[in-house]
Amino acid sequence: MKAITRRAFSNNHTESGMVSKRQQQGAKGRGPLAFSFGDPEPVLGNNITNYLGVFVDTGGEFYVPPVSMSGLADIISANAHHESALHFKRNQVLKWYIDNTILTRKELAKVVFDRFVFGNCYLQKIYNRFDMVIGLKHLPALYMRKMKKNDNQYCKLQNGGRPPIPFKVGEVIHLKDYCVKQQIYGIPEYLGGVQSIMLNESATLFRRKYYDNGAHMGYIFYTADADFDEEDEKALKEQIAQSKGAGNFRSMFLNIPGGKPDSVKIIPVGDIATKDEFERIKNTTRSDIISIHRINPALAGVMSEASGGFGDIEKISRIQYENETVPAQFIFKEVNQYLRTQDAIGFTIPEFAD
């Protein structure tokens, strides 16, 4: 009895076995071949939505955020709907911004995007010789941390194990979404939809892998009343194996002298090409994603399946502005408490909201 072992790898190179084994002994010492596959493995091993609380880092200098900042950054491009929603919400805030030399539109765009991605955004105050704020500069939220030593002091992490760069007390403005469990960092509004974001990505990646390399159990190749010798059996196995990868879904000619019409049967067991599970998963997770971002499907680039569409797009835009854009603008207006009245930032009011 001979066993053949192959390897399958996820993106973190964790092995899962795939074993082929002779089950029964028939004529001439040969038996049918059966293939089994290991358990599926998650692409993302660590759950970034696990709330660990806020702790001081091992060096004792700053507080560690309650969720993985790098994990939130990694899933920005996990699927089209999530990334598109983040850019849409940023553009809605920028659309009505009044240009200001203290906080330019370019800097505000980075700050707004950080707030929607991480639930936190940071600005550095630029002072003149009279200790007045004459400018605000964006600081990347991915690397910013609140220091333990002083209540209103922050630092910026560096690569390569180098020590963080501290800022002066009160030099950094920290705007954040409210979190009921702690008040040091904010958490993003879409955190409850992270699983749907990753499921949507997983479905797409599985579909791509299905077509790219055929590494799936799509069917059972069953033979009955067909007496193959060892060389014929080996040649048949090689032809089936070669049908994977580039050029898969090819046709194959098989001649069995003295065979019967039912000597060969193809029993499909995992052919997602003939099922609609993929479409259902994509549609369900898409609805979850645009719902967690609170964007109307008409504004999220979704094609309506109804003959009448989504309705009056102008009314939908007005509701989106009043319910989502205006409250988001209030958060960024908090910087005005650090500016002189003549330097305050503001937003115009669209005609449909008058």
Phi-psi region of 170 (alpha: psi -120 to 50; beta: other; left: phi over 0): left
Tokens of 134: 């004459």
Rounded to whole angstroms, the Cα distance separating 205 from 121 reads 31
Angle of the 194-213 helix axis to the 80-95 helix axis, nearest 10: 130
Q: Which residues pair with 7 in a beta bridge?
A: 17
Q: What is the greatest pairwise CA distance in the chain?
A: 100
Length reported for the chain: 354
Res 245: pLDDT = 55
Res 118: pLDDT = 97
Query: Residue 232 is inside which H or E element, if any?
Result: helix 230-242
What separation in angstroms does the CA of 312 have from each of 101, 298, 301, 315? 37, 9, 15, 6
Tokens of 190: 């879409």
Rounded to whole angstroms, the Cα distance separating 175 from 186 reads 8
Neighbours of 244 (CB within 10 A): 15
pTM assigned to the model: 0.71
DSSP 127-192: E-TTS-EEEEEEE-GGGEEEBSSSTT-EEE--STTPPPEE--TT-EEEEE---SS-SSS---TTGG
Rounded to whole angstroms, the Cα distance separating 174 from 5 reads 54
pLDDT tens track, the chain, 354 positions = 344 333 333 334 333 343 344 344 444 444 444 444 444 444 344 455 555 567 788 778 999 998 999 999 999 999 889 999 999 999 999 999 999 999 999 999 999 999 999 999 999 999 999 999 999 999 999 999 999 988 899 999 999 889 999 999 999 999 999 988 888 999 999 999 999 999 999 888 888 877 776 545 566 666 765 666 777 778 777 777 766 555 555 566 666 666 667 667 766 655 555 456 888 899 999 999 999 999 998 898 887 776 667 778 889 999 999 999 999 999 999 999 999 999 999 999 998 877
Rounded to whole angstroms, the Cα distance separating 30 from 26 reads 5
What separation in angstroms does the CA of 98 have from each of 199, 219, 323, 345? 39, 61, 20, 7
Strand order in the sheet with 33-37: 3-9, 15-22, 33-37
Contact residues for 57 (Cβ-Cβ < 8 A; gap 6+): 63, 64, 145
